[in-house]
Chain A
Amino acid sequence: MTDAISVKNLSKTFGGEWSLFGGRSHEVKAVRDVTLSVKQGETLALVGESGSGKSTLARMIVGLDVPTSGEMRIAGKDARALWAEGPQAFGRVIQYVFQDPVASLNPRKTVTAILDAPLRLLRGYDQRRRQVRMRELMEAVQMPADSLGRYPHEFSGGQAQRIAIARALAAEPRIMVLDEPVSALDVSVQAQVLLLLEDLRREFDLSYLFISHDLAVVESISDRVAVMFFGEVVETGAAEQLFRSPRHEYTKRLIASAPRLETALGATRGA
């Protein structure tokens, strides 16, 4: 079976162009020589702190950014072929869910208008089919059907994220890239959205690339984990094993830094 996502020696460098007066601008290697793969039906978590390059990597994988060098295969197809087919080719196989659900929904569009674009442009459904699909999608993300006529600002963060997920699902992709999908949400909402994502993956047989800085969240949803540090993947492994016995120094530090509830329960505290 082919991998859902397979990335080989991918790099992305920003800046470094000559400008007319400022001389050469500062060059930033956001992603350096990354190789990883997401197997069909699995959830690969990409863990790292701010500036580690995980979002840049994600944007390249969904076709929003162009890599400086390296190779990518999405759902078995070479990325160059997808590029050649046009921007819609990416959208049909892979979709993206953003961190900030409110910013990812156009404030001046109803949910109907938001869902309409992928159904029409990527799936080519007629009017009636689109209406039926919209209601199915709302059901899938556990939102009432009357949400369709509403505007984004009428929803809470968790509800908005469900709508953003529905939009991604509307394209009927095989693969989803989830970029910190629960980081902006309150903890109780976060758990519900995680559960929803897990159920959707099973129901629609999706493969996930799940990006997060929160190790506990990652552990609860991923099969395998890749750790990014300054643009490089420093360690990859099965989730359970990686958390139990991290090999790389940085992974160890990351795990040790995560605040734990048990701290309070275990030790008796002074004063």
Chain B
Amino acid sequence: MAAYIAKRLITAIPVLLGLSLIVFLIMAMIPGDPATAILGSYATPENVERLNRSLGLDRSLPEQYFIWLGNLLQGDLGRSYALNRPVLDEVLERFSATLILASTALALCTVFGLLAGIVSAVRQFGWADRIVTLFVLVGISIPSFFLALLLILFFAVRLQVLPASGMYAIYGGGDLPDLLHHLILPAVTLAVVATGVVARLTRTAMLEVLRQDYIRTARAKGLGERKVIYRHALKAAMVSIVPVVGLQAGFVLGGAVYIETVFQWPGIGAMLVKAISTRDILLVQGGVLFVAAAYVFVNLIADVVQATLDPRLKA
């Protein structure tokens, strides 16, 4: 197992390098003078010149990339001119808030998606299956930003039981119960879509596996139906479910853009939206890179979990 993890870690390196290259190239493609684009309305002639020099814009593109990569590896993502602080500081601060939100949503969608999918497959065509199917349909069809508004209208405006915005109460609070209180609505909203996707896939995977010859073998051995479903079928189904849960991490991290904006959650998603409108390119660059790296890491974990389930993948 350790060997496999090491192998996977090594293969993650080119992916990360590729990511950094894509991010670099996207930003290099910005039309016009990059320094002006980066500095935006803050551009003064001396600022532009200073930036041009520090970015090495007088050099060739590959050279620029390696300089940029070198800085990146030293933790230097440049400076946000709009916020007038190092990009890394801002991104790290914001990222912790996103992490709380995203991991809660991911946990919710995994637990409820799996449960709903299993129930739905086992009780196929029963009422539970219908309810789950309906939920999945609504979940994957409703825009998360619209659902967020509806939930705010209902829970914050009508019932006034949950706050509509922020991570902590502005006056006082700041402790764990306060955080949870603010976390419920955004986390649930963020999880709904992903839960639908996980539930639907779990149902399909279970039904597909239950048709396999080895399930017939398990039945021919005289195993009880519980063992057949929860030991034989679920284990095999998990092999295809795990990577999808990994993919949901991407949905959750990306969907945070909407949810953080609507709920004014001080995370990286809201930061990105603001940075794009103010053309704070270095901040966008840093934020995108950070979230993408986190996503690669989650998928790495998903791969390792999948390999522990399926010995054929380790070969």
Q: Is B10 in the interface zone, CB < 8 Å from A?
A: yes
Q: Is A21 in the interface zone, CB < 8 Å from B?
A: yes
Smallest Cβ distance from A87 to chain B, in angstroms? 35
Q: Is B11 in the interface zone, CB < 8 Å from A?
A: yes
- Contact residues in A for B11 (Cβ distance below 8 Å): 21
- Contact residues in B for A21 (Cβ distance below 8 Å): 10-11, 14
Cα–Cα distance between A21 and B14 once the two chains are bound (Å): 10
Task: Report the count of interface residues on A (CB-CB < 8 A).
Answer: 1
Report B1-38 CB contacts with A as 1/0, cut-off 8 Å.
00000000011001000000000000000000000000
Cα–Cα distance between A21 and B6 once the two chains are bound (Å): 13
Cα–Cα distance between A117 and B50 once the two chains are bound (Å): 67
Report A1-40 CB contacts with B as 1/0, cut-off 8 Å.
0000000000000000000010000000000000000000
Chain B binding surface SS class: helix
Cα–Cα distance between A263 and B19 once the two chains are bound (Å): 68
Closest to A20 in B: B14
Cα–Cα distance between A21 and B10 once the two chains are bound (Å): 9
Task: Report the count of interface residues on B (CB-CB < 8 A).
Answer: 3
Cα–Cα distance between A118 and B107 once the two chains are bound (Å): 59
Cα–Cα distance between A233 and B11 once the two chains are bound (Å): 42
Smallest Cβ distance from B230 to chain A, in angstroms? 36
- Contact residues in A for B14 (Cβ distance below 8 Å): 21
Cα–Cα distance between A21 and B11 once the two chains are bound (Å): 8
Cα–Cα distance between A21 and B7 once the two chains are bound (Å): 9
Cα–Cα distance between A120 and B70 once the two chains are bound (Å): 61
Smallest Cβ distance from B293 to chain A, in angstroms? 20
Smallest Cβ distance from A225 to chain B, in angstroms? 36
Smallest Cβ distance from B303 to chain A, in angstroms? 15
Closest to B11 in A: A21
Smallest Cβ distance from B138 to chain A, in angstroms? 37
Smallest Cβ distance from B16 to chain A, in angstroms? 14
Smallest Cβ distance from A26 to chain B, in angstroms? 10
Cα–Cα distance between A21 and B15 once the two chains are bound (Å): 12
Smallest Cβ distance from B6 to chain A, in angstroms? 12
Cα–Cα distance between A123 and B301 once the two chains are bound (Å): 57
Closest to A21 in B: B11
Closest to B13 in A: A21
- Contact residues in A for B10 (Cβ distance below 8 Å): 21
Q: For residues 260 through 281 of chain B, which have their beta carbon under 8 Å from a beta carbon of chain A?
A: none
Cα–Cα distance between A21 and B12 once the two chains are bound (Å): 11
Cα–Cα distance between A21 and B13 once the two chains are bound (Å): 11
Cα–Cα distance between A160 and B11 once the two chains are bound (Å): 46
Cα–Cα distance between A21 and B9 once the two chains are bound (Å): 12
Smallest Cβ distance from A95 to chain B, in angstroms? 36
Smallest Cβ distance from B7 to chain A, in angstroms? 9
Cα–Cα distance between A21 and B17 once the two chains are bound (Å): 15
Report A126-150 CB contacts with B as 1/0, cut-off 8 Å.
0000000000000000000000000
Smallest Cβ distance from B132 to chain A, in angstroms? 35
Smallest Cβ distance from B94 to chain A, in angstroms? 34
Closest to B10 in A: A21
Smallest Cβ distance from B8 to chain A, in angstroms? 11
Cα–Cα distance between A72 and B48 once the two chains are bound (Å): 70
Cα–Cα distance between A32 and B14 once the two chains are bound (Å): 38
Cα–Cα distance between A23 and B11 once the two chains are bound (Å): 12
Report B165-205 CB contacts with A as 1/0, cut-off 8 Å.
00000000000000000000000000000000000000000
Cα–Cα distance between A206 and B210 once the two chains are bound (Å): 50
Cα–Cα distance between A10 and B14 once the two chains are bound (Å): 40
Smallest Cβ distance from A242 to chain B, in angstroms? 38
Smallest Cβ distance from A218 to chain B, in angstroms? 31
Smallest Cβ distance from B313 to chain A, in angstroms? 14
Smallest Cβ distance from B315 to chain A, in angstroms? 10
Cα–Cα distance between A161 and B14 once the two chains are bound (Å): 48
The contact sample of 3 A-B pairs, CB cut-off 8 A, is A21-B10, A21-B11, A21-B14
Q: Closest 3 A-B residue pairs measured CB to CB? A: A21-B11, A21-B10, A21-B14
